[in-house]
Amino acid sequence: MQFPADLKFTKDHEWVRIEGDTATIGITDFAQSELGDIVYVDIGTIGEELAAESVFGTVEAVKTVSDLYLPLSGKISEKNPLLDGQPELVNSDPYGEGWMVRVTISDPAEVSRLMDAGAYQQLVGA
């Protein structure tokens, strides 16, 4: 299982890559392995301004449907267009081609509430 040191993590198993005032967000390797084969990603919040911990979409696996929670407050600026035709990228490359959304961060102070890779690894017991 991977825990990239350059990312931040949430208790809800999302990862965050911060680049300036933009956050790229996806679900962690742990989350995708728990969900199993992902068959659909539904994100209908493009252009919306959402608070941290708001639901920004859902991910559907063979076994279940799970909500996706926004780690940081901001405006959803982009969704990964590849996921419309290839949702399995979330399974095969969760930290790369399987990213879900990009957000323009509205409150940079919230970044300090996120976990580093070591803390997230402890959370999931890996």
pLDDT at 12: 93
Q: Count the domains in the chain.
A: 1
Q: Does residue 23 belong to any structural domain of this protein?
A: yes
The pTM is what? 0.94
85 band by pLDDT with thresholds 50, 70 and 90: very high
Mean of per-residue pLDDT scores for the chain: 95
List the domain range (segments joined by +) for residue 19.
Answer: 8-105
96: domain CATH number?
A: 2.40.50.100
Inform me whether the pLDDT recorded for 126 exceeds 80: no
| pLDDT for 4 | 94
Do 110 and 90 form a contact (C-beta atoms < 8 A)?
no
pLDDT single digits (tens) 89-122: 999 999 999 999 999 999 999 999 999 999 999 9
